[in-house]
Structure 1
Amino acid sequence: MRRQAHLHGLETLSANYFRQNFKPHAHGEYIFGVIERGVHAVWCRGSMNFVPAGSVVTMRPGDVHYGGAADRSGWRQRMLYISEQGIRNILSDMADKEICRNLDFNAAFHATPSLARRFIMWHAMLHESSSSLARNVALDSIMQAILNELAPETIPEERRQPDGRILDAIEYLKSRVEEDVSLAELCVVAGLRRRQTISAFRRYTGLPPHAWHLQQKIERVKHLLRTGMSATQAAAETGFADQSHMARHFHAIVGMTPGTFARG
């Protein structure tokens, strides 16, 4: 379990359960999740459900539920817990106006393997990434995907999105390659809401902010390696957590290890 204080105080969970049996209980937050492996036997909204891998979970605050593993192999789940105010903030950001209503879904469990795969990918980034920008974009992507597929009536009609001062935001990020820049900072520079900033960034660069910033970091690493700097020092100079963190991203983007690149 990890708490993301800067993201509406939400919590993320990644867990493997084998012998866990939950007693009847409810949460004060919305729950969004996915069953990644196995089958979870869970009572909710008046009936027992056998929820297999590839299912997406959407529970409202106060939904009483209980259960455990459907068999001895257990189950693996990824969950996201977010307050009612946090949901209203997200909806307001998407709609570009104040939204006060609560969010609801027709069911608690959805057999949507495609959505589940996307949820797993973005949840892993939200749960594990050391980059503030990456976590912000991951949350936005999860909520956009869930709402588009399971509650499309909550998404406002598509209209031309403003660009604000997005070129200033791009330059701001480029000049801070070594820093962990937050989405909130970019929003101030661009003069846009969170969702608008991400969308405008994609339109102008072809990438969301965190991916574009990562590209700039790798370009700086390449330059430093060419000057003879060690991979360890180059990782530190560009704000990576450590050399292995840098090397993993370097190989994914450049197609070779930093050492091979330096020798070439």
Structure 2
Amino acid sequence: MLDLHSHVLPGLDDGAASAEEAVAIARAACADGVRVLAATPHVRSDYPTTASQLDAGLRALPPLPIDVVRGGEVSLEVAAALPPDDLAPFAIAGSRYLLVEPPYTGLPLNAGTTLFLLRLAGFVPIIAHPERNPDVQADPSRLRELVEAGALAQLTAGSLTGRRGATAQRTARVLLQEGLAHLVAGDAHRPLDRSATMSRGLAAVGDEALAEWLGRSVPAAILADEDIPPRPATGRTRRRRRVLAWRTPA
């Protein structure tokens, strides 16, 4: 598994507070089967992480039993304000993919515009944990508009298992069913509880091929800075294809 969202760098945000906690996060992820972990500290008004702080944090990491790549979790507000050259250091593993965090209070009216401008600048925005956003919970079609405009969506493993609450779990399932989710991540701020690990989250998907796509194939393409592979046909997708074939005149 490849986990492209974590707060493993100590002292930069509300994640690991020390090198010891960073090691604990990495060891727990490794024990769960994760082989690559993206360090994605918050980049927002309350945690204004800079590129130099990110570099220093990566250099200061003690030896870890897992590969750690650079990244950032950039708020929509900051993504709208910073020029592309200032955003590039926070792209995942130096790729075109940028993890973007929506506010917890809802989606701002300019969310679509911000993501569109990121696309114009050469980035592929990845929307972090949309299933925990109240506007998406109330109306998943709000996310569809953003995905159809070229964004990807990353679910949190703990949402799929119910660790993040029933509403987040229900919304995550709807987003999966509607084809609006592209990868799963741990979003670890501390060593993940067993009920919120990547392996548990992917198991909760209930479809082996889809889980492989969400936890390995898509993250691998992102790390390689390649286009993501096509989504595998799930049971729902196969049923819809059979219906469409039946309705198509000979």
| TM-score range for the pair, normalised by the shorter chain length | under 0.3
TM-score by length of 2: 0.27
| TM-score (normalizing by structure 1) | 0.26
Whose relative contact order is higher, 1 or 2, with alpha carbons under 8 Å and at least 6 apart? 2
Indicate the structure (1 or 2) with the bigger Cα radius of gyration.
Answer: 1
